Amino acid sequence: MQKFVLLTSVLFLLFSCKENKKSTQTESETTSQNKKEKQVAINYANGFTIDKYDGYKVITLKEPWPDTDTEFTYALVDEKNSLPEGSDFDAIVTVPVKNIVVTSTTHIPSLEMLGETKSLIGFPNLAYISSEETRKRIDAGDITELGKNESINTEVLIDLNPDLVVTFAVEGNNKTVSTIEKTGIPVFYNSDWTEQSPLGKAEWIKFFGALFNKEQKADSIFTEIETNYISAKEKAAKATTSPTVISGAMFKDVWYMPKGGSWGAQFIKDANGTYLWNDTEGTGSLSLNLESVLEKGKDADFWIGPGQFSSKQQLKDAHSVYSEFSAYQNNNIYSNTTLLGETGGVVYYELAPNRPDIVLKDIIKILHPEVLPEHELYFFSKLK
Domain end (from 136, 159, 194) = 194
Does residue 361 fall inside a structural domain?
Answer: yes
Query: Other CB atoms closer than 10 Å to residue 273's CB: what's the count?
Result: 27
Instruction: Identify the domain containing residue 165 by its residue range.
Output: 47-194
Which residues, listed in sequence order, are joined to residue 62 by a DSSP beta bridge? 71
Same-domain check for residues 170 and 246? no
Same-domain check for residues 77 and 183? yes
Alpha carbon of 98 to those of 95, 114, 118, 373: distances in Å?
8, 13, 9, 43
Preceding peptide of 162 cis, ω within 30°:
no
Same-domain check for residues 252 and 368? yes
Which residues, listed in sequence order, are joined to residue 275 by a DSSP beta bridge? 245
Does residue 203 fall inside a structural domain?
Answer: no
CA atoms within 13 A on the CB side of 81: 17
Same-domain check for residues 315 and 182? no
Does residue 138 fall inside a structural domain?
Answer: yes
Same-domain check for residues 51 and 168? yes
Tens of pLDDT along the chain (384 residues) come to 433 344 444 444 444 333 333 333 444 444 444 566 788 999 999 999 999 999 999 999 998 988 888 999 999 999 989 999 888 999 999 999 999 999 999 999 999 999 999 999 999 999 999 999 999 999 999 999 999 877 899 999 999 999 999 999 887 777 788 889 999 999 999 999 999 899 999 999 999 999 999 999 999 999 999 999 999 999 999 999 999 999 999 988 899 999 999 999 999 999 999 999 999 998 888 999 999 999 999 999 999 999 889 899 999 999 999 999 999 999 999 999 999 999 999 999 999 999 999 999 999 999 999 999 999 999 999 999
pTM above 0.85, yes or no: yes
Does residue 130 fall inside a structural domain?
Answer: yes
Into how many domains does the chain fold? 2
Same-domain check for residues 186 and 53? yes
Same-domain check for residues 53 and 170? yes
Same-domain check for residues 264 and 367? yes
Interacting residues of 175 by C-beta distance below 8 A, sequence separation 6+: none
Which residues, listed in sequence order, are joined to residue 36 by a DSSP beta bridge? none
Same-domain check for residues 292 and 165? no
